[in-house]
Amino acid sequence: MSRWLWIGAGAVVAVGAGAAVAAAAAGRRLPVEHVTEGGLDLAQPPGAVWDVLTDIDLYPAWRPGLSQVERLPAAGGRVRWREYDRHGHTTYEVVESEAPHRLVTGIADQDLPYGGTWTYTLTPAGEGCTLTVTERGEVYRPVYRAVSHYVLGEDSSVHRYLGALAHRLA
């Protein structure tokens, strides 16, 4: 390999390492916990929206990127399932359920670099309803926190979900 190729490869490695160190430093300054929220005004009544929110088996049909859902045995009386996508899998459980107005789901895996809950609140509005989704998230690793905050946006998952749900209900 020529000398200039070695220098170029070294520069790429140095820039990558520098970016990782900078991301870790930035992530350490961010809080582990965050709260974000999004909402939709829907033409369907709360019961109809509730049915879509809680039909775990049909998630892959309307949530882009989700390839499979596997129902798991209940733990402590809580409904549990595992979602598979291109990044691997995540196990979820129902933390609270007050049909058809309030649903709280949480990440049940303890070994992931993130965790938290999503609270779905359905409020009647005329013939339809308003859905509010509140994410109370935790990102444990500083580099992941920096990417989530500065690159992806902490609210990106909520808005991606709401967009897919709006399309499903249209």
Q: State what percent of residues in the chain have pLDDT above 90.
A: 71
Maximum distance among all Cα pairs of the chain, rounded to whole angstroms: 72
Domain 31-169 in CATH 3.30.530.20? The answer is yes
Does the structure show a pLDDT above 90 at 8? no
The residue ranges of every structural domain in the chain are 31-169
- pLDDT tens across 33-92, in order? 999 999 999 999 999 999 999 999 999 999 999 999 999 999 999 999 999 999 999 999
List the structure tokens of 78: 């809580």
List the structure tokens of 84: 């598979």
- pLDDT tens across 140-151, in order? 988 888 888 788
CA–CA gap between residue 58 and residue 45 (Å, rounded): 19
CA–CA gap between residue 111 and residue 77 (Å, rounded): 22
Q: What pTM was estimated for this model as a whole?
A: 0.85
